[in-house]
């Protein structure tokens, strides 16, 4: 037994040495990059063999003061607490931001900010139950490594009024940067009706903030704001439906994607569409050269049906496929649209490069992309009431049949996905989904909190489940599923957000990795 443990220490040591040689990895934005590929391609410690070895599992967890909708972010080697530490940042609906030790358990966070009272569904002025309990911070923040600043939007109650504010926090100590916070305002913008659900985007010194609605009630719009990352002055605002209504930007929490020339891509939900001023149920490309201006768009041929039947085109986010002129967009009908960024196609399915029935039901959360050595470029999706599927991308088109699929399925919302690999080798698809122990509620099941599971799959063969937190439920469970947050993989660890153990008022961050003992 001693020799076995000694061998395992050598294995761990070799893996850690490889990580240090390659440099520590940071995940500073939702789904890893502005393309929203969801992939960390510098993961050398978590190989398929090691994850499947029986040594992988939950290392420790942190309790927080509310449900966590945002994806955890990791900044490597932050000068904090008298040394250099890897730090994981977590936000809650209670308007809290936590900075925890990402490498090893530490009883107290490095710092914790709480921005003030957060509205809740019990507030009679709200009259909506699309979220449980409170709804202070929903969207995933973004971190600027150059400025050592975390940007996050919080909804607070101040003197009886609802206020949406952009905060810029020093990642070392949580202190507000000069000029922070700043109130988010625009003509027709109602801070109570608008839900800051999509992740924030940081591109070329500008923070972009998207908005959806709560329950699609009242008058609302899909807004995209642009703020200077340095001064926090508002640069521009774009309204998806300026002479209409609706057009939320929600994308199950995924952030807008950005192109190498600064173009911004996102999809919109139900509302007014006329092809001139209003662009609900569409995929948009905005130019940032002179503020935020519409450059191009795509709208599905059956947009009227989509609108009437609440079949939002933006239940999933936009993925910019690396090294191509292609993006994907998916919605509640389970279709994946492959679009050419040089001409999105305007109205009609004929304008798309391809329309693929990718899942059996709606797709929530963004797909992930990997160019692996064995099968080349491929995209992974996990739709509601379906299994995890992988599609190969050949000659600019997706094969119509998946090259592989999992055996396990998941109810709402399907799987929130991320991927880790060492370049083109050792790919693992990580999924946060519903646990087999989950219990469903007859009414409002989509908004209730139910047990989640973390799964790991061999990326070349999705039939091979490497590991699941359900296998050793008592040890590895993280509690209830965070329906918007994919796992974060960095430096041999997997970070999973959770809704905690109750319907409201609880949340957790669980950290998984290689254990010394099974």
Reported as type and span, the H/E element at residue 209 is strand 206-210
Q: Is residue 14 part of a domain?
A: no
Q: pLDDT by residue (tens digit) across 45-72?
A: 999 999 999 999 999 999 999 999 999 9
Look at residue 15 and tell me if it is in a domain: no
Does 177 map to a domain?
yes
**pLDDT tens-digit series, residues 266-304:** 999 999 999 999 999 999 999 998 889 999 999 999 999
Q: What is the pLDDT of residues 294-346, one digit of tens each?
A: 999 999 999 999 998 889 999 999 999 999 999 999 999 999 999 999 999 99
Residue 11 lies in a domain: no
Chain centroid to CA 356: 23
* Count of the separate structural domains present in the chain: 1
Q: Quick check: 130 pLDDT over 70?
A: no
Q: Residue 503: give its domain's CATH number.
A: 2.140.10.10
**Strand, coil or helix: 467:** strand
pLDDT (mean) for 357-374: 94
**Average pLDDT for 62-87:** 96
pLDDT value at residue 510: 98
Among 2-16, 36-50, 360-374, 478-492, which is the least confidently predicted range? 2-16
Length of the chain (residues): 518
168: which 2 tokens? 């810029």
Q: Which domain holds residue 356?
A: 25-514
Indicate the pLDDT class of residue 13, thresholds 50, 70 and 90: very low
Residue 294 lies in a domain: yes
Tell me what pLDDT residue 119 has. 85
Percent of the chain past pLDDT 70, that is, above it, reads: 92
Give the range among 3-7, 149-153, 290-294, 414-418 with minimum mean pLDDT: 3-7
Neighbours of 79 (CB within 10 A): 12
pLDDT band at 128 (very low <50, low <70, confident <90, very high): low
Q: Is position 9 within any domain? A: no
Residue 298 lies in a domain: yes
Count of CB atoms situated within 10 Å of the CB of 424: 13
CB 489 within 8 A of CB 45: no
Total Cβ atoms within 10 A of residue 212: 28
Q: How far apart are CA 79 and CA 252, in angstroms?
A: 33
Domain membership of residue 121 (yes or no) is yes
**pLDDT at residue number 397:** 97
In the predicted structure, residue 208 carries a pLDDT above the cut 70:
yes
């Amino acid at each position: 037994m001693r020799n076995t443990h000694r061998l395992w220490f050598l294995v761990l040591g070799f893996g850690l040495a490889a990580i240090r040689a390659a440099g520590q990895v940071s995940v500073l934005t939702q789904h890893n990059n502005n393309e929203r590929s969801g992939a960390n391609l510098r993961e050398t410690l978590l190989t398929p063999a090691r994850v499947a070895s029986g040594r992988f599992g939950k290392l420790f967890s942190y309790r927080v003061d509310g449900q966590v909708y945002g994806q955890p972010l990791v900044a490597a080697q932050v000068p904090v607490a008298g040394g250099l530490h890897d730090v994981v940042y977590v936000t809650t609906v209670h308007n809290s931001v936590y900075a925890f030790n990402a490498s090893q358990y530490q009883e107290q966070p490095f710092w914790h900010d709480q921005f003030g009272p957060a509205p809740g569904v019990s507030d009679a002025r709200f009259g909506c139950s699309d979220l449980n309990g409170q709804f202070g911070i929903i969207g995933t923040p973004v971190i600027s490594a150059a400025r050592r600043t975390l940007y996050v939007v919080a909804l607070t109650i101040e003197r009886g009024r609802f206020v949406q504010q952009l905060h810029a926090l020093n990642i070392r100590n949580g202190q507000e940067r000069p000029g922070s916070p700043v109130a988010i305002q625009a003509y027709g913008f109602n801070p109570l009706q608008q839900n800051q659900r999509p992740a924030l985007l940081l591109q070329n010194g500008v923070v972009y903030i998207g908005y959806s609605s709560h329950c699609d009630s009242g008058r609302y719009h899909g807004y995209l704001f642009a703020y200077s990352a340095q001064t926090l002055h508002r640069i521009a605002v774009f309204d998806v439906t300026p002479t209409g209504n609706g057009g939320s930007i929600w994308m199950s929490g995924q952030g807008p994607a950005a192109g190498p020339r600064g173009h911004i891509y996102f999809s919109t939900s139900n509302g007014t569409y006329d092809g001139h001023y209003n662009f609900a149920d569409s995929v948009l490309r905005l130019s940032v050269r002179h503020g935020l201006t519409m450059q191009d768009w795509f709208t599905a041929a059956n947009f009227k049906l989509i609108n009437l039947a609440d079949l939002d085109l933006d239940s999933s986010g936009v993925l910019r496929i690396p090294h191509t002129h292609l993006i994907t967009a998916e919605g509640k009908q389970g279709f994946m649209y492959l679009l050419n960024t040089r001409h999105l196609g305007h109205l009609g399915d004929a304008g798309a490069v391809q329309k693929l029935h990718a899942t059996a039901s709606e797709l929530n959360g963004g797909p992930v992309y990997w160019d692996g050595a064995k099968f080349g470029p491929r995209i992974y999706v996990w739709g509601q009431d379906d299994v995890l599927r992988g599609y190969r991308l050949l000659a600019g088109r997706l094969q119509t049949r998946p090259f592989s699929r999992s055996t396990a399925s998941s109810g709402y919302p399907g799987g929130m996905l991320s991927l880790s690999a060492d370049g083109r080798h050792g790919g693992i698809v990580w999924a946060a989904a519903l646990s087999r122990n989950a219990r469903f509620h007859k009414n409002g099941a989509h908004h209730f909190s139910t047990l989640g599971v973390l799964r790991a799959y061999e990326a070349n063969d999705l039939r091979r489940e490497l590991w699941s937190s359900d296998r050793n439920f008592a040890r590895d469970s993280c509690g209830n599923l965070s329906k918007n947050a994919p796992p974060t993989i960095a430096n041999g660890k997997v970070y999973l957000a959770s809704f905690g153990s109750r319907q409201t008022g609880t949340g957790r961050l669980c950290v998984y990795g290689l254990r010394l003992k099974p």
